[in-house]
Amino acid sequence: MKAHIALTTSYSSLIANCAPVAILLSACSVAPVSEDAVTVSGRTGYSAYTSEQQRVSQDACGYAAAYRAGDYVYLSGVVVGAPPGEALDRAGFRERVCRTLQYAHRNLEAAGSDIRDVAEIISFHVWDSPHLALTKLEHLELIAEVKRQFTEVPHPAWSAIGVSELLPDTGLVELRMVAYSPTSGPRMRSDDTTQQGSMIDCGES
């Protein structure tokens, strides 16, 4: 479970700085990937961003959308959120899960990978959120259903963890991923006909 965080001045500042990221995900808008992704080299690898705008926004929050270290790409958590004051039905939740996975795919692309390379998923769920009109089982089954459109057989490892709350407050599920994407040699894909994440139709915005 995530520890409760008191509303201090520094926490308020964090919320203010990271608001564009939270709004992006909860509104299900997907920022376009620029032709040349932005990378910032470090001691163990490099941070990757879909655009300079994304880099500036996330730098203010102290994190990167994706980080490549050797053959592995680590994706920061992406949040499926609901509009403030609303409770999503099944169709609305499905669309937002799909668009959030598209966003994850584009972040992985910026690091020279994609969502078909994901080896591990860890998800954090607010099972009893007032912002979602689904049972715990329906919540989990729908995510699994959408995830199958993006990933290949054999499926990646997946751990689902229940939490009391997420950032933003209307967050329903947060997805973290690790992809294995060798910088040289063939990738171990079982089916090259699988659609790329950016090609999947998530329905109307």
Q: Which of 24, 22, 74 is nearest to 48 (CA)?
A: 74
Q: Maximum CA pair distance of the chain?
A: 50
Q: What is the mean pLDDT of the chain?
A: 81
Distances, alpha carbon 61 to alpha carbons 64, 66, 68, in Å: 9, 14, 19
Indicate the burial class of 66 (C-beta count within 10 angstroms; 0-12, 13-18, 19 or more). Answer: buried
In percent, the amount of the chain with pLDDT more than 90 equals 64
Average pLDDT over residues 10-15: 45
In CATH, 12-199 is 3.30.1330.40:
yes
pLDDT tens, 45-93?
Answer: 999 999 999 999 998 989 999 999 999 999 999 999 999 888 999 999 9
pLDDT recorded at residue 40: 94
Distances, alpha carbon 9 to alpha carbons 5, 16, 61, 63, in Å: 12, 11, 15, 20
Band (196; pLDDT cuts 50, 70, 90): low
Band (170; pLDDT cuts 50, 70, 90): very high
Whole-prediction pTM value?
Answer: 0.79
3-state secondary structure of 73: strand
* Contact (CB, 8 A) for 62 and 17: no
* Contact (CB, 8 A) for 172 and 26: no
pLDDT recorded at residue 205: 42
- Over 90: is that where the pLDDT of 109 sits? yes
Q: Which residue has the higher pLDDT, 13 or 43?
A: 43
The pairing of strands 157-162 and 118-125 is parallel
Band (18; pLDDT cuts 50, 70, 90): low
